[in-house]
Amino acid sequence: GSDPRDGDRRARPPVSFELFPPRSDAAALALGRTIDRLAEADPAFISVTFGAGGSSRDRSLTVLRYMLEHTAVEPMAHLTCVGSSHEEANRLVREFLDAGVTSFLALRGDPPTGAGPDAGIGDLGSAAELVQLIHRVQEEREPFAQVGVPGVPGASRIRERPRPERVAVAAFPTGHPRSRSAHQDVDALLAKEIAGATLAITQLFWHADDYLGYVDRARAAGVTIPILPGIMPVTTPARLARLAELTGVEAPSELAIDLEIEPDPGTQAELGVAYAAQLAAGVLAGGAPGLHLYTFNRHEAVLGVLARLDLGVSTQLVNERNTAR
Residues in touch with ligand FAD (CB under 6 A): 49-50, 52, 78, 80, 105, 107-110, 126-127, 170, 172, 176, 178-179, 184-185, 188, 191, 201, 203, 230
Cβ neighbours for 298, distance < 8 A, ≥ 6 positions apart = 34
Closest-CB residue for ligand FAD?
179
Query: Between residues 77 and 259, which has the closer beta carbon with respect to ligand FAD?
Result: 77
Query: Between residues 192 and 299, which has the closer beta carbon with respect to ligand FAD?
Result: 192
Query: Between residues 275 and 294, which has the closer beta carbon with respect to ligand FAD?
Result: 294
Output the smallest distance, CB 126 to ligand FAD, in A. 3
Query: Between residues 185 and 272, which has the closer beta carbon with respect to ligand FAD?
Result: 185
Output the smallest distance, CB 294 to ligand FAD, in A. 8
18 part of the active site: yes
Output the smallest distance, CB 23 to ligand FAD, in A. 14
**Angle at alpha carbon of residue 138, lines to 134 and 139, rounded to 5°:** 115
Output the smallest distance, CB 130 to ligand FAD, in A. 8
**Angle at alpha carbon of residue 40, lines to 37 and 46, rounded to 5°:** 75
Query: Between residues 81 and 259, which has the closer beta carbon with respect to ligand FAD?
Result: 81
What values do phi and psi take at 199, rounded to 5? -160, 145
**Angle at alpha carbon of residue 297, lines to 292 and 298, rounded to 5°:** 90
Q: What is the CA radius of gyration of the chain?
A: 21
Name 78's bridge partners: 105
Output the smallest distance, CB 64 to ligand FAD, in A. 12
Whole-angstrom distance, CA of residue 110 vs CA of residue 47: 19
Query: Between residues 50 and 214, which has the closer beta carbon with respect to ligand FAD?
Result: 50
Output the smallest distance, CB 305 to ligand FAD, in A. 17
Name 227's bridge partners: 200
18, 74, 129, 193: the catalytic one is 18
Q: Which residues are catalytic?
A: 18
